[in-house]
Structure 1
Amino acid sequence: MTNTLVIIGHPNAGSFNHALAAQYLTGLRAASVAPADLRVIDLAEREFDLLPTARGDLRAPDGDTSHLEPRIRAFVDDVAWADHLVFFFPQWWGTYPAVLKAFLDRAILSGTAFTYGRGQISTRLLDGKTARIVMTMDSPIAWNRFVYRNAAETSLKRATLGYCGVRTIGITRLTPVRFSTPEKRAAWLEQVRRLGATDAARARRRQPAVAVASPVE
């Protein structure tokens, strides 16, 4: 089964993003995804230094992470383990919360996620992985597109994930959250639960067929 890593990018526990992530996981589990194939990074609970103290904290020469603190090394290992990454976050000031940006800075490293090439071309070390983005916001879809230029999703999809070889298979924008009714939130939760089931089914289709030996007559 595909290894799925869920990253909750909201700094406050108990947020609506946490509820959405829980429903996504419910959809995966209902589709018989085993616990061993799931990992969750909840950035409201995982305490780590947001700011690197040295330039070397942003590097993993030849993939070596031994110089990193254990919590950061665990983040890097989780990303390497995952076949599919799912991000949940609220749009704040047109992008995403500082804790999610810090996670990307500390976990997506030169040497493990990419290596520098000529010009703007990288060697993508995360090729073959996929991602899904689920974001909440208050901006209307059109405003977010034409005024903010889809800054949050463009940054994450293209400048980070795409640069390292991760292919984003879907972006879900839930808006407006502020003043949304309980009925609307319930519909969003169900929508995200179905995304979990969809991703589980998609992962099964990607599994190579197992050859069955013919019985000896």
Structure 2
Amino acid sequence: MAADILVLKADPSAGIDLRQGLEAADYSVDLVVDKGVAAQLVGRHSYMAVLMDIPESGSTQRRTCAELRKRRRDVPILVLTQKGDERDEVEALDAGADDYLRTPCSREVLLARLRALTRRGTRSVDRLLRIGDLWLDPVHRRCGRGRRDITLTAREFAVLVQLARHPGKAVSKKVILDEVWDMTYRSNPAVVEWHICMLRRKIDAPFGVRSIETVRGFGYRLTTVDG
């Protein structure tokens, strides 16, 4: 039987401590130190989430996240790092991670972030959502325009679902924060702005459309209008 969580940790001894902390919270854990092995396991098993802690460059993180996504596009990825500046956080999110957590941190904070990621797949599912040629399949966590699939991170997909549930209507940043993020992030609307930016790059820019509108001082609206 597959484990609940895959931990990719460069430091084996620290990885053991992390695994023991997760197991104490009733998660089963696969611990690996090799990025290639991690990608193979992700391709074979339906993990609830991947915790990735590799103290390497942003380009290496991007390649690793890309390989994990190639094996299973919808797996939630939480990047752990001892680095503390905003640029590193942006690099981790840009690499395809769904969340970013600076360490050391308390076990309670780590578990709260993990619950926020994994509950994306446990909420009640919607039928297929369509807004013009844009479609979302919440059951299988797929998205596309027409016949072309679009690869989104789990967090990006969750944000888009919130907009797609109310086509043509403005959705506030607060509502998006409450629905998609845990308490740690709910006072930081900038995290919503970042994910909207990434969504525009993926679902709008390649197709020459502008379907995500900014409602100044409030939030965002998903429409079928282009131009």
Measured against the shorter chain, the TM-score band is 0.3 to 0.5
- TM-score normalised by the chain length of structure 2: 0.38
Which structure would you say has the larger Rg?
1
Bigger relative contact order (CA 8 A; separation at least 6):
1
